[in-house]
Amino acid sequence: MLIKSDVQQIKQRYGIIGNSPALNSAIDVALQVAPTDLSVLVVGESGVGKEIFPQIIHQNSPRKHGQYIAVNCGAIPDGTIDSELFGHEKGSFTGALSDRKGYFEVADGGTVFLDEVGELPIPTQARLLRVLETGEFIKVGSSKVLKTNVRIVAATNVNLTQAVAAGKFREDLYYRLSTVPILVPPLRERSNDIVSLFRKFAADCAEKYRMPPIHLDDAARQLLISYRWPGNVRELKNITERISIIEESRDITAEILRSYLPDINVEKFPVLLKNESEHKVFNNEREILYQVLFDMKNDVNELKKLVHEIMSGNVQMSVDDDTCSKPHPHPHPHAHNIDSSTTIQEVEPVEEETLSLEEVEKDMIRKALEKHNGRRKNAAADLKISERTLYRKIKEYNLE
Ligand SMILES: Nc1ncnc2c1ncn2[C@@H]1O[C@H](COP(=O)(O)OP(=O)(O)OP(=O)(O)O)[C@@H](O)[C@H]1O
Ligand SMILES: [Mg+2]
pLDDT of 265 reads 46
Q: Does residue 163 share a domain with residue 25?
A: yes
Which of 25, 52, 187, 239 most suits a substitution to test ligand 1, by most atoms within 8 Å of the C-beta? 52
Residue 232, phi-psi category: left (phi > 0), alpha (psi -120 to 50), beta (remainder): left
Q: Average model confidence (pLDDT) for the chain? A: 83
Domain final position from 122, 153, 185: 185
Distance CA 180, CA 53 (A): 13
For 109-113, 186-190, 303-307, which range has the lowest pLDDT when averaged over its residues?
303-307
φ and ψ of 145, to 5 deg = -85, 125
Question: Could you tell me which residue, 381 or 314, shows the higher pLDDT?
Answer: 381
Which CATH number does the domain housing residue 52 bear? 3.40.50.300
Strands (E), the chain: 40-43, 68-72, 87-88, 100-101, 111-115, 136-138, 145-147, 151-156, 180-183, 215-216, 251-252, 336-339, 342-344
In 3-state terms, what secondary structure has residue 221?
helix
For the Cβ of 44 lying below 6 angstroms from any atom of ligand 1, the answer is yes
Quick one: average pLDDT of 20-43?
96
φ and ψ of 224, to 5 deg = -60, -40
Give strand pairing partners of 337: 343
* Highest mean pLDDT of the ranges 60-64, 306-310, 348-352, 358-362: 60-64
The reply to whether 274 falls in a domain is: no
Which CATH number does the domain housing residue 211 bear? 1.10.8.60
The Cβ of residue 242 has, within 10 Å, a number of other Cβ atoms equal to 12
The reply to whether 340 falls in a domain is: yes
Q: Give the nearest ligand 1 atom to 233 CA.
A: 12
For residue 234, give the ligand nearest its CA.
1
φ and ψ of 140, to 5 deg = -60, 130
pLDDT at 322 over 50: no
For the Cβ of 157 lying below 6 angstroms from any atom of ligand 1, the answer is yes
pLDDT at 16 over 80: yes
For the Cβ of 102 lying below 6 angstroms from any atom of ligand 1, the answer is no
Q: Does residue 327 share a domain with residue 260?
A: no
Distance CA 268, CA 266 (A): 6
pLDDT at 210 over 70: yes
**Helix, strand, coil percent content, the chain, rounded in steps of 5:** 50, 10, 40
Q: Does residue 140 share a domain with residue 49?
A: yes
| Residues of the domain holding 319 | 312-346
Burial 211-224 (b: 16+ CB within 10 A, else e): eebbebeeebbebb
The reply to whether 304 falls in a domain is: no
For 125-129, 157-161, 292-296, which range has the lowest pLDDT when averaged over its residues?
292-296
The reply to whether 259 falls in a domain is: yes
Q: Give the nearest ligand 1 atom to 49 CA.
A: 18
pLDDT at 199 over 80: yes
Domain count of the chain?
A: 4
For 19-28, 207-216, 256-265, which range has the lowest pLDDT when averaged over its residues?
256-265
Distance CA 356, CA 75 (A): 33
pLDDT of 280 reads 36
For 122-136, 165-179, 386-400, which range has the lowest pLDDT when averaged over its residues?
386-400
Domain final position from 185, 202, 230: 185
Q: Does residue 9 share a domain with residue 151?
A: yes
For the Cβ of 57 lying below 6 angstroms from any atom of ligand 1, the answer is no
83-134 per-position pLDDT tens digit = 999 999 888 787 778 889 999 999 999 999 999 999 999 999 999 999 999 9
Question: Could you tell me which residue, 292 or 189, shows the higher pLDDT?
Answer: 189
Model confidence band, residue 314 (pLDDT cutoffs 50, 70, 90): low
Question: Could you tell me which residue, 346 or 47, shows the higher pLDDT?
Answer: 47
Q: How far is the CA of 50 from the centre of ligand 1 (A)?
A: 6
Percentage with pLDDT > 70 across the chain: 80
Q: How far is the CA of 278 from the centre of ligand 2 (A)?
A: 42
Give strand pairing partners of 88: 100, 140
Domain final position from 162, 185, 208: 185
Closest to 386 (Cα-Cα) out of 292, 284, 295, 287: 284
In 3-state terms, what secondary structure has residue 150?
coil
The reply to whether 301 falls in a domain is: no
228-256 per-position pLDDT tens digit = 999 999 999 999 999 999 998 999 999 99
pLDDT at 288 over 60: no
Distance CA 291, CA 330 (A): 41
- Amino acid code (one letter) for 349: P
Beta carbons of 383 and 365 less than 8 angstroms apart: yes
Q: Give the nearest ligand 1 atom to 200 CA.
A: 4
Separation in Å, CA 7 to CA 28, 44, 85, 139: 6, 19, 33, 40
Q: Give the nearest ligand 1 atom to 237 CA.
A: 12
Distance CA 242, CA 220 (A): 15
pLDDT at 332 over 80: no
Beta carbons of 282 and 273 less than 8 angstroms apart: no
